[in-house]
Homo-oligomer: A and B are copies of this chain.
Amino acid sequence: MILINENFLKLQDNYLFSTIAKKVEKYSQENKNNKIIKLGIGDVTRPVVPVVIEAINKATKEIGTKTGFKGYGPEQGYSFLRKAIIENDYKSRNIILKENEIFVSDGAKCDCGNILDIFSEKNTVAITNPVYPVYLDTNIMCGRKIIYLPLTEKNNFIPEFPKEKVDIIYLCFPNNPTGTVLNKKELEKWVQYAKENKAIILYDAAYEAFITEENIPHSIYEIEGAKEVAIEFKSYSKTAGFTGLRCAYIVVPNELMGYTKKGEKISINKLWNRRTCTKFNGVSYIIQRAAEATYSEEGKKQIKENIKYYQKNAKIIKEGLEEIGFVTYGGKNSPYIWLKVPNKMTSWEFFDEMLEKTNIVGTPGSGFGKCGEGYFRLTAFGTIEDSIEAIKRIKKI
């Protein structure tokens, strides 16, 4: 008899964003004339930049020819892209990585889930609360014990060490959903903690391009010794607008070790390489060429323009909200603004009120976990016109 993985039954029935989508759909159906502004899901809106378009065109032309055709590529990613990553994302920050430490993938969401394959289900996992739901759900799916690290006003959104011993620690900074950051000193403490406890840090740096302030690490490998304890997740989604193109990568340093129950050291890089070769067949060649193009001089310039555009939106939203008395976090080194819901409303009550009174869609903080209750996430990924209009509408009520 075919038995299912019963851990799936422990998942909440609805994925946060599909619940939102349904509510919005219903409202739209009933109020067809109202223009809804979506600042909920973290999806970008700027078109793909010209250098990327050109790179895709060039690669597409290539694969249509006999000599230029590309079949299966290396599962880990083409050398041209891995080299560009090492050179531009790391060497420029004095972080030296080897090509075999870079694994190109079709998305950070996939990577976050897939990486768990190589670890024992006996590991205890620490995630922040609130948290990007994927970290939580993918661990529930394999039945791991989960410990929550609250991110609250009280601790200034800096996670404290868990009382119980943990083995896998998810850190996402600039944080999704709170938009807050860890400075170098705070991150150093976590690297130290991981070393002392032989734990591993899964460091999600998907939003590092939005950092504006000094002394905020763009990569965990800026911290000495982090290569021994951390895997880093990066993505072209939010920086270069690849949410619809699909490309990301992770860094799995050769120094990183896991353990057997008997205490033998095992290379995590080798395990992940085996997983990648067996369960993945690489990212589309034309998409990898697209990712490569983001590192050209012109590419960097065009992408910076887009990021500046979103940063301007963040400023408009954050300052606009603060002007009328909202308490907000994030938005400075992050495309996310985490606002405190007024009048002791719940996050979902505020969601409904926002949808009905202003036709603005945000994300209820409680959807990211208990400690997100009473908060609301707005993203800066909309158009500047929408961001301005949203603040106008909120000011009216």
Contacts and interface: CB of A to CB of B under 8 A. Distances in A.
Interface of A: 1-6, 8-9, 11, 15, 18, 41, 43-50, 53, 56-57, 60-61, 63-66, 68-73, 106-107, 109-110, 112-114, 117-123, 133-134, 137-138, 141, 167-168, 197-200, 241, 243-246, 258-261, 263, 266, 268, 271, 274-275, 277-287
A277 B121 CA distance: 22
A203 to B, nearest CB: 14
Contacts of A134: 278-279
Given A1-B198, A53-B63, A246-B281, 11 more contacts: A2-B258, A4-B119, A4-B120, A5-B121, A46-B69, A49-B64, A69-B241, A107-B281, A117-B141, A141-B278, A246-B283
Contacts of A11: 274, 278
23 contacts: A1-B259, A2-B198, A3-B120, A3-B123, A3-B258, A3-B261, A5-B118, A5-B120, A6-B260, A8-B275, A11-B274, A45-B69, A46-B66, A47-B63, A47-B65, A47-B69, A57-B57, A69-B241, A72-B244, A107-B280, A109-B279, A113-B279, A245-B286
A92 to B, nearest CB: 27
A199 B109 CA distance: 31
Contacts of A6: 120, 260-261
Sorted nearest first, the 5 A-B pairs with minimum C-beta distance are: A113-B279, A3-B120, A4-B258, A43-B71, A70-B244
Nearest to A283: B246
Contacts of A9: 260, 266
B284 A245 contact: yes
A138 B110 CA distance: 17
B44 A71 contact: yes
A125 to B, nearest CB: 11
B2 A138 contact: no
Contact of A48 (B3, B64, B112, B118): B64
B244 A274 contact: no
Contacts of A271: 4-5, 8
